[in-house]
Structure 1
Amino acid sequence: MHPLSPVLHGAKSIAVIVVALSWQTLAQIGFERFALVVLGLAVAVVIFSLINWLNTGYHVVGKELRIQDGLLWRRNRAIPLERLQAVELRRPLLAQLTGLAELRLEVVGGGKTEAPLAYLTVRDAGALRERLLALAGRTQPGEAVATPGATGAPALERPLLRVRNHDVVLSQLLTPQAFFLPFGVAFVVMQTVLEGSWTFIGIASTITAMAGVLLQPVRRVLQDWDFRLARDAGGRLVVRYGLLETRSQVVPLHRVQSVGVTWPLLWRSKKWLNLRLDIAGYAGPQGSGDSKRSDRLLPVGDNETARGLIWEVLPGVDLLALPTTPPPDRARALHPFALRRYGVGLTPEVFVTRWGLLTRQMSLVPYARLQSVRVMQGPIQRRLGLATLYADTAGGRAGVAHDRDLREAYALADELANRARLARNPAPLATGEVAPPAPEPEAGLTPAPASDDEVWQRP
């Protein structure tokens, strides 16, 4: 690793130590002794990091990446490169200031990111990523790979999108956290004026509450800053984003398991939405935090922009022309106000589901990515003759058809299983062979008339 690696690793530990000592310790022992304590601990941390750096290294043997690290407990790991899904290049703030970067490896079946290689120069990190992807068969040797430290995109890339930072900031101001923050501050000020006192506990509580409310919007702005999207020569998506920590990711389209569309309530006045990708191979379960997943396709944008991006990721899918049918009327007992906001549809390319009243959402799952199909009933659903269909993918998210008629749910499950099988193994007809006729729908279910989309609905 780069010789500055111990300094960067030690800086993180030193910051944690200073915070742990707290202002109370500073007041008790004085500034001079406090500075000596911090300096002594900093030297110890740097020495420990230096020894650990001397015992850390990697080398590539054939199609295997071998990493050794550890001081008291030595670890030797061998990562078969055929299991490698992606290599992400990250540059935290300190790494940007020193011209360094780190690589994070995502492998098939990994429960977490494998052995971050920190830190390398930007040039060395880019070259190593290109070599690993080439050996893994994810790219061709010599093919341009995105590097966040480079000035501009590689010549072979085709730019698709660059989100304005103004829109990113404004979109986060149009969130419930930011919207209700002024009311919370006004309430605290009013209470203080009426009581005529402002205690330390009151100040600390107010600052803590405001920080907690603003944390998520501020984090999203920092992460989505200068968001850019392109297609490289191999047809993959190249995603770059971040302010304090810049990231560069290469996303092969065959690893995209589903596309999610969200229309937040406060965004609909500006006709905005956001798009996310569910990508196979990235560690961390759903909801484990943005730092563990790569799910950005469009942080904020309008319908036409989203329509073009979805066409790039899922060719043939038109976001503004996806037919869906709502649940039967008896499901109104479960959704008294939002029944017509739920729907399900089958297009030639994807399985479409939508739901939500205040925040409206849609999921698009390609048939070839389906792993399993489940039909489930709760006690109330059994009394109403309803069921919910789950179309699971390898990435963790599922297309969910809420509260369908029981027979319709089973018909949908059969149809999805057939389409998934055909999408994975399309069997061409032999010479002179006639295609079999389309299966007839079960009694009580008919395909939508005058449409090429086999959307099952009640007559």
Structure 2
Amino acid sequence: MTDARATPPPAEQRLHPWSWLFVLLQQLRQFVVPLLVLLFAGRRGDAGDFAEWAPLVGVGVLVMVAVLQYFTYRYRIGDDGISIRSGLLQRTQREIPFARIHNVALHQTLLHRIFGVAEVRLEAAGGQKPEAQMRVLGLAQALALERRVRHRGTAAAAGGGAEAASPAGDTLLALSTAEVVRLGLVSNRGMIVFAAAFGLLWQAFPERAAADWLQGFFREAMGYAGTLHLGWIGMAAAATATVGVFLALLRLLSVALALSQYHGFRLSEQRRRLTVERGLFARLRTSVPPRRIQAWFLQETLLHRWLGRRSLRIDTATGGREDDPRKLRELAPIAPPEACDRLIAHLLTEAAWPPPRWTPVPRRCWWRLFAGGVPWNLLLTTALAWNFGPWGLLALLWLPWSAYAAWRQAGRLGYAMDARLVAVRGGWWSRWWRLAEIDKLQALRLRRSPLDRWLGTASLWLDTAGAGAMSPPLCIRFLPQAQARALYAQLGRMLAARRLRW
């Protein structure tokens, strides 16, 4: 007989009723160029009435596809995982265990926030695509799904309301508006946006027209400066002021972008998961278990040091593109050095950070850091001398500074290792630290170039899952061969005696 008290299976759920609109907008962004080509080509050509109506037909097809996706997409949240069913003619059913989901990302654009919905991405280790991407769920529904994944099915899914809107958690780091402004001042986001806009304009207009416009603007500016009779000192001062204004505008743009992306930044921890929330107009909420962190990266540029700050980034064993803004990569976009150290020590409870002692790399390796840039400097000097005559030889003045910088960098190269952690440091003008738990190391590589074989040196590369995208890599360079082989053998024995955790 069937037990009447048996728990019925959970019911299937649909996406939010407005999900078809967001799917349509996503598709329109992908097909906007072909639709515009059809629109303008149809007006100029002799294709008849069909060319005039082709863009509307294309939009109608996209609307039908978006609506069909809403009606054919179903998901069910069980005790151990999520079941997703989709498709009309070609039907697909996926079973995603909670234990396989490593990262949950909730993304809200300004339009999402107006409609009270969110896009949800469920990511696993490896792969370039998320395990599931739900466009879109109601915000309370999305937060309930995130909590269920966080608890891995051990607790019932909570309902909506105020509890769903603000799940409890211990705050590890929160950035004030002043800190976000500092982040904008030390970042180069403004230059990246300017370069992207310049490249877009260069592609949008004919190359000859863009070049003629730039040349005409330069001639007019020089002609106007000539009418002022400033002399070479005045011209130099005007050029310096122009560059200063341009750099100040770029910094203001960087600050505006930082406020847009990191306003309200909050890093919290709850039930062994780290969660980051940030964004002014578009809100992003993403979470990952600390055990999925494969490597750590501390950075301190010259501007960071002037402001008494550092940044802390991580590599995680989750799929997706490295440039995906919805991937959790920054635990502390900007924070005081002691706050970054406390955060690492809190999450790596059995490791000693900062290390009590660093083993230096022989400083005589400085010339190898210097030699890498010499050919490029000579090539640039030759090109400048060819175009500007003897004045181009001034580029050679970079060589003494480059040699001094390489000597200072070699003085900071070093590594530290204990029973739990291996760390590498380097840099001078811009300082950095790379570290990883020994249990997260997947492979060791001992590399020797022809120059290494001649000099009796070697470099030890340490590979972890999901790492390698950041620069600089986790690598101990320019060690004497005997020291490198001894370190390689020691780490090899430690890895053989341990189980890989990722």
2:18 is matched with which residue? 4
Alignment of 1:247-262 (within 5 A): 247-262=284-299
1:275 is matched with which residue? 312
TM-score, structure 1 as length reference: 0.74
Identity of aligned residues (%): 26
Deviation readout 1:125-172 (Å, 9 max, x if unpaired): 2222333444xx4x7415989999955452xx2222111233223323
1:415 is matched with which residue? 490
Letter in 1 for 2:437: P
Return the alpha-carbon distance in structure 2 between the equivalents of residues 413 and 172 of structure 1: 41
Return the alpha-carbon distance in structure 2 between the equivalents of residues 255 and 39 of structure 1: 47
SS of the residue 2:325 aligns to: helix
Equivalent residues of 1:112, 1:283 under 8 A apart:
yes
Deviation readout 1:369-392 (Å, 9 max, x if unpaired): 111211111111111111111121
Name the CA shift for 1:144/1:248 in 2 (closer, same or farther; >3 Å): farther
1:158 is matched with which residue? 170
Equivalent residues of 1:262, 1:273 under 8 A apart:
yes
Post-superposition offset of 1:50? 0.6
Return the alpha-carbon distance in structure 2 between the equivalents of residues 19 and 226 of structure 1: 35
Letter in 2 for 1:266: L
Structure 2 gap ranges (5+): 1-14, 199-213, 225-248, 371-405
Whose Rg is larger?
Answer: 2
Return the alpha-carbon distance in structure 2 between the equivalents of residues 297 and 360 of structure 1: 18
1:58 is matched with which residue? 75
Is residue 2:351 matched to residue 1:339?
Answer: no
Name the CA shift for 1:111/1:290 in 2 (closer, same or farther; >3 Å): closer
Return the alpha-carbon distance in structure 2 between the equivalents of residues 23 and 66 of structure 1: 40
Post-superposition offset of 1:255? 1.7
SS of the residue 1:417 aligns to: helix
Return the structure number with greater relative CO, CA threshold 8 A, min gap 6: 2
Equivalent residues of 2:191, 2:250 under 8 A apart:
no
Equivalent residues of 1:122, 1:149 under 8 A apart:
no
Return the alpha-carbon distance in structure 1 between the equivalents of residues 26 and 417 of structure 2: 50
Deviation readout 1:338-370 (Å, 9 max, x if unpaired): 211211111343101012233221111112211
Is residue 2:115 matched to residue 1:101?
Answer: no
Is residue 2:105 matched to residue 1:67?
Answer: no
Residue 263 of structure 2, aligned match among 225, 235, 240 = 225
Is residue 2:93 matched to residue 1:91?
Answer: no
Deviation readout 1:403-457 (Å, 9 max, x if unpaired): 11111111112222333455649xxxxxxxxxxxxxxxxxxxxxxxxxxxxxxxx
Q: How well do the aligned residues superpose, as a CA RMSD in angstroms?
A: 4.0
SS of the residue 1:334 aligns to: helix
Is residue 2:464 matched to residue 1:393?
Answer: yes
SS of the residue 1:243 aligns to: coil
Equivalent residues of 1:148, 1:246 under 8 A apart:
no
Letter in 2 for 1:5: S
Post-superposition offset of 1:299? 0.3
SS of the residue 2:17 aligns to: coil
Return the alpha-carbon distance in structure 2 between the equivalents of residues 181 and 289 of structure 1: 15
Letter in 1 for 2:491: L
Letter in 2 for 1:13: Q
2:341 is matched with which residue? 307
Deviation readout 1:267-314 (Å, 9 max, x if unpaired): 22112210012222x1136xx304363111100111121121111111
Residue 451 of structure 2, aligned match among 380, 399, 403 = 380
Name the CA shift for 1:408/1:295 in 2 (closer, same or farther; >3 Å): same
Equivalent residues of 1:369, 1:420 under 8 A apart:
no
Return the alpha-carbon distance in structure 1 between the equivalents of residues 428 and 191 of structure 2: 19
* Corresponding pairs, count: 399
Is residue 2:282 matched to residue 1:245?
Answer: yes
Return the alpha-carbon distance in structure 2 between the equivalents of residues 86 and 16 of structure 1: 26
Return the alpha-carbon distance in structure 2 between the equivalents of residues 214 and 341 of structure 1: 33
Return the alpha-carbon distance in structure 2 between the equivalents of residues 192 and 171 of structure 1: 37
Letter in 2 for 1:227: F
Name the CA shift for 1:149/1:163 in 2 (closer, same or farther; >3 Å): farther
Is residue 2:50 matched to residue 1:48?
Answer: no
Return the alpha-carbon distance in structure 2 between the equivalents of residues 146 and 352 of structure 1: 44
Letter in 2 for 1:341: R
Is residue 2:420 matched to residue 1:349?
Answer: yes
Letter in 2 for 1:226: G
Deviation readout 1:214-252 (Å, 9 max, x if unpaired): 9988665533332101222x2432221223332223332
2:479 is matched with which residue? 404
2:228 is matched with which residue? none
Structure 1 gap ranges (5+): 197-210, 426-459
TM-score, structure 2 as length reference: 0.68
Residue 94 of structure 2, aligned match among 77, 86, 90 = 77
1:194 is matched with which residue? 222
SS of the residue 2:320 aligns to: coil
Return the alpha-carbon distance in structure 1 between the equivalents of residues 454 and 187 of structure 2: 38
Post-superposition offset of 1:73? 4.3
Letter in 1 for 2:262: D
Return the alpha-carbon distance in structure 2 between the equivalents of residues 309 and 146 of structure 1: 31
Name the CA shift for 1:296/1:145 in 2 (closer, same or farther; >3 Å): farther
Name the CA shift for 1:140/1:277 in 2 (closer, same or farther; >3 Å): farther
Return the alpha-carbon distance in structure 2 between the equivalents of residues 395 and 366 of structure 1: 14
Letter in 1 for 2:269: R
Return the alpha-carbon distance in structure 1 between the equivalents of residues 67 and 327 of structure 2: 31
Name the CA shift for 1:63/1:101 in 2 (closer, same or farther; >3 Å): same
Letter in 1 for 2:75: Y
